[in-house]
Amino acid sequence: MRLRWSFRRLAWMLALLAGLLAPLAVGNPYYLQVLTLGLIWAIGVYGLNIVLGFTGQLSLGHAGFFGIGAYTVGLLTLRVGLSFWVALLAAVVLTMIAGWLVGWICLRTRGHAFAIFTMAVGVIINLLIDKWDSLTNGQVGLVNIPAPNAIGPVSFDSAQARYYLVLVFLVLAAYATWAILRSPIGRAMHAVRQSEELAAAIGIPVMRTKRLAFVLSTVFAGVAGALFAGYLGYLGPDVTGVDITFDMLLYLLVGGMGTVAGPLVGALLVGALTQVLQAFQQYQMLIFGPVLVILIRFFPGGLAGIPAGIRRRRERGPNPPPLAAEPIPAAREEV
């Protein structure tokens, strides 16, 4: 166990070192932008991981909250003249309130009904941003959104500086996910995912746990949207489209639900493959579809869950007893 923990710590240290050195190794500004956007998407996927990977609630309106965070920063910095940091705080508060209100209503449903309800919420948010021309400029969108304000001597005018800013938020998102996973709240979320009835029977407040997971997921999405607006400097209603939610879901499925490394692995890997397959853009889904089916069939835990899956097979042996009862783990600890 200690050796396994040391290996995980070493892997995360190497990943952090690679993240710190990436801007120095990537000379092309376009590739640096692609990498930065991949980290931003990963932050949003960490939120989807909490509500889907931890509690098993499939939210299909995630891009709507991403758009709320992005447009809050864009509007407050452009129209009101607030600094990026004040607008970021406002985006967190607004997405938190919106997440609580939506969760208070839609979490009364389950399964497919919950997924359809959240998709409808995402579509409503998309339509509001698209059609409310006096506020959001509609299809024209918001342009010339100012970059994050300097913090003392640290300026964020360059693309490299904004990359490191996004990297800091990504590290915080990954650490928060790890902390939640190992906390009593994370164990309660896992119990809800396994069986809501059993969780309620042992005294876990099921509705409160699911609502907390949903609100946390919207906050992560709002932060990602705020960073997206501050980094690119322009926004359009397409950032709230349902296809963005499905992209995040794809990243999570490829990386691994319920794991700490899954959102990052999925966002970076699928993002890199998308760039490689740009010449075949209209056929990308034909390529990703079979790959995703194969991955879910043979590696249901995603790429980040492969080591843990191999370890469990070794512990069970080649021929486990067919009627042996397998205890429900307290929490998933895969990286």
Summarised one tens digit per residue, pLDDT across range 176-186 is 999 999 899 99
Residue 316 binned pLDDT confidence (cut-offs 50, 70, 90): low
Beta carbons within 8 Å of 106's beta carbon, 6+ residues apart: 114, 117, 118, 121
Q: Which helix (H) or strand (E) holds 211?
A: helix 206-232
Residue 5 binned pLDDT confidence (cut-offs 50, 70, 90): low
Angle formed at CA 146 by CA 141 and CA 150, multiple of 5 degrees: 160
Mean pLDDT, rounded, for 253-279: 85
Q: pLDDT value at position 311?
A: 65
Taking 50 as the threshold, does the pLDDT of residue 330 lie above it? Answer: no
Query: Which of 176-213 are b and which e, b meaning 16 or more Cβ less than 10 Å from the residue's Cβ?
Result: bbbebbeeebbbbbbbbbeebeebeeeebebeebbbbb
The three-state secondary structure class of 151 is strand
What is the average pLDDT value for the chain, to the nearest integer?
Answer: 85
Identity of residue 41:
W
- Of the candidates 48, 80, 84, 75, the one whose C-alpha atom is nearest the C-alpha of residue 64 is 48
Q: pLDDT value at position 309?
A: 64
Q: Give phi and psi for 205, each to the nearest 5.
A: -75, 95
Query: Taking the CA of residue 192 as centre, how many other CA atoms within 13 Å lie in the half-sphere pointing to its CB?
Result: 27
Q: pLDDT value at position 227?
A: 95
Alpha helices for 132-158 (secondary structure H): 133-136
Taking 90 as the threshold, does the pLDDT of residue 289 lie above it? Answer: no
- Of the candidates 304, 256, 288, the one whose C-alpha atom is nearest the C-alpha of residue 52 is 256
Residue 163 binned pLDDT confidence (cut-offs 50, 70, 90): very high
Computed on alpha carbons and rounded to an integer, the radius of gyration of the chain in Å comes to 20
- Of the candidates 335, 73, 18, 50, the one whose C-alpha atom is nearest the C-alpha of residue 229 is 73
Asked if 114 and 107 count as a contact pair (C-beta separation under 8 A), the reply is yes
Beta carbons within 8 Å of 290's beta carbon, 6+ residues apart: none
For the record, the structure tokens of 115 come out as 């997924």
pTM of whole model > 0.85?
Answer: yes
